[in-house]
Structure 1
Amino acid sequence: MTDQQQLSVGDKAPDFTLPDSTGTPVSLSDYRGGPVIVYFYPRAATPGCTTQACDFRDNLSLLNAAGYQVLGISPDPQDKLASFAEAEGLTFPLLSDPDTEVMTLWGAYGEKTSYGKVTRGVIRSTVVVDSDGTVAVARYNVKATGHVVRLLTELDIHG
């Protein structure tokens, strides 16, 4: 049913360079040397995506204290990402992947089932990349609500 290749623990995370909400290019390789959480979401300023982004925002100090950086990626244009970041007080980079090339490469775009119907689109996903660029955690079809708390537990990060 699915045509996309998803990443697995131990895989080398594919490098990318995407513009952030200000148009500044951001590369995964910029974060080499420390762990990074890359999460993919369908659309900025929608209820589920706002919940997920705010959960990352609210737990960012804990994540940063444990050495983790956070990158959010969606197909939204830069101006929409900038408005979303400003409206929600998001201080981590939101990256624009309008042609979904990076999402596809990471297994976060393709066939999915929504309300019993198979469609193509962004698969809400989170991948944790360790300091040398290897996938440490890969979660696909995650729920917006409660996902960050589960991730903190999985990464053994406590407040």
Structure 2
Amino acid sequence: MTNTAAGARAPDFTLDDQHGRPVTLSALRGGPVLVVFYPLAFSGVCSGELTELAGLYPRFAEVGVHVLAVSVDSTFALRTWSDREGFPFRLLSDFWPHGAVAEAYGVFDDRRGVARRGTFLLDTGGVVRWSDHTPVSEPREMGRALEQARSLV
């Protein structure tokens, strides 16, 4: 497991988004990045969280934050979900190797085979400046991540 505590360099990754386009974390350096791990598309708590995040997305964009949401779902499931919900940010597939990025961030639940709820705010150099871990059964308050993002700029 990689150290993803505040002050640590975030593990780099390349994952496909819901359109099958590769997204490399280190390519986003120069701007802050919010990485949001969630268990599964189409589930109740996750849908509520990402809908809240979508509502806050213009505020994240105002402060220059790239928003990435990561799950172990396939790109096909993520595309269907994103199209249905109209999410304005990229949904990344940590499908194969299954959960490898979630594992690198210390949020993979190997018993259930899904990511736990982990939120990581990275600065312009790719260093973790804030993280939050929430039990799988409880939704996060995405406004907390926005407050932290505003403190970076």
- Assess same fold via TM > 0.5: yes
Residue aligning to 2:148: 154
Distance in 1 separating the partners of 2:123 and 2:150 = 14
What is the Cα deviation at residue 77 of structure 1? 0.4
The RMSD of aligned alpha carbons is: 1.8
- From 69, 74, 80, give the equivalent of 2:71: 74
Unmatched segments (≥5 aa) in structure 2: none
Instruction: Write the mapping of 1:7-22 to structure 2, written as runs, cut at 5 A.
Output: 7-22=4-19
Residue in 2 aligned with 1:55? 52
Aligned partner of residue 59 in structure 1, secondary structure: helix
The alpha-carbon deviation at position 93 of structure 1 amounts to 0.6
For 1:43 and 1:6, the matched residues in 2 are separated by 24
Distance 1:106 1:91 in 2: 24
- Give the conservation status (yes or no) of the 8 Å contact 1:40–1:74: yes
Aligned to 1:140: 133
Query: How far apart in 2 are the matches of 1:152 and 1:121?
Result: 25
AA matched with 2:148: E
1:77-88 pair list within 5 angstroms: 77-88=74-85
Give the C-alpha shift of residue 5 in structure 1.
Answer: 4.9
Q: Distance in 2 between matches of 1:15 and 1:122?
A: 17
Give the match for residue 29 of structure 1: 26
Stretch of structure 1 that moved more, 147-156 or 84-93: 147-156
In 2, distance between residues paired with 1:155 and 1:54?
19
In structure 2, distance between residues paired with 1:36 and 1:5: 18
Return the TM-score normalized by structure 1. Answer: 0.85
Contact 1:6 1:108 in 2 (8 A): no
1:32 CA displacement: 0.4
- In structure 2, how many angstroms separate the alpha carbons of the residues matched to 1:49 and 1:153? 21
Number of aligned pairs? Answer: 147
Unaligned runs of 5+ in 1: 112-117
Identity of aligned residues (%): 31
Give the counterpart of 1:39 among 4, 12, 36. 36
- 1:139 Cα deviation (Å)? 1.0
Q: How many angstroms does 1:100 deviate by? A: 0.3
